[in-house]
Amino acid sequence: MFYVNVERGVKLAVYDLNPTGKNTVFLIHGWPLNHRMFEYQLELLPKLGFRCVSVDLRGFGNSDAPWSGYDYDRLADDIYEIIRMIGVPEMALAGFSMGGAIAIRYMARHREYKISRLALLSAAAPCFIRREDCPGGLPIEQVNALIAQICRNRPQAIYDFGQNFFAQPVTPPFGEWFRSITLSGPGYSTLKTAETLRDADLRSDLGRISVPTGIFYGTLDKICPKELPLTLNRGIRNSKLYPFQKSGHAVFYDELEKFNQDFSNFLVG
């Protein structure tokens, strides 16, 4: 682990596995997690020759948690600063859930800088909440209730949210481990990023993505229903859907072996 200064007084924890790997992939975690959610990808991809770069977003894990900067523009700028520092000519970018939304904003805002392939994993995009002209997403009342609960009882709010995360059973020790990751940041960063999830609209960003894009999603997802990946597929040219019939929001784990196979195959083209 090392730190990258992304703006004055703010440094983010970056993890670089197998830095001599032939192909580089940058992994962006979801809400309210940190880079550890990718444990079962980070165990495999370096063995396949990948250099794996991951980050704890501001406000999560081992990164600084400033009071501000939790909108997608600033979060995408943070990713840009890290990619600029890494110095490789090109890489794949992969984002899960909120991380997928950040990846989309990065591609539009920074003109796909150094990105050759994009993987959207259960992406919370283009709109996390249901809108009259954007099918899919959660009812705004449900998201507002989650935000209100975060202000009163964050552990319970995250626990309740997590009940819709996995479509397949997980063992109690795994569930405890995963919940520990969700509480790695302070309450205000969890709250502010939840507000960004609710308020952001990325539809205008989709047409600015031109690289090959894989849209990985679980057909049983109750957090980002299948209407969202279908909307992404229509809006992003050169995109392909990768449905997982037995997976929920945790597409990276519910069908672990199948996901890792399809994901690694996509990364090499």
Catalytic pick among 97, 122, 189, 264: 97
Active-site residue flag, 249: yes
Report the candidate in 238, 218, 237 with the shortest Cα–Cα distance to residue 229.
218
Distance CA 160, CA 156 (A): 6
Which of these is catalytic: 56, 64, 205, 221? 221
Specify whether 78 is catalytic.
Answer: no
Active site residue 56: no
Q: Which is catalytic among the residues 29, 205, 249, 254?
A: 249
Answer whether 241's CB lies under 8 Å from 228's CB. no
Q: How far is CA 58 from CA 11, 34, 54, 91, 179, in A?
A: 8, 10, 13, 22, 19
Active site residues: 97, 221, 249
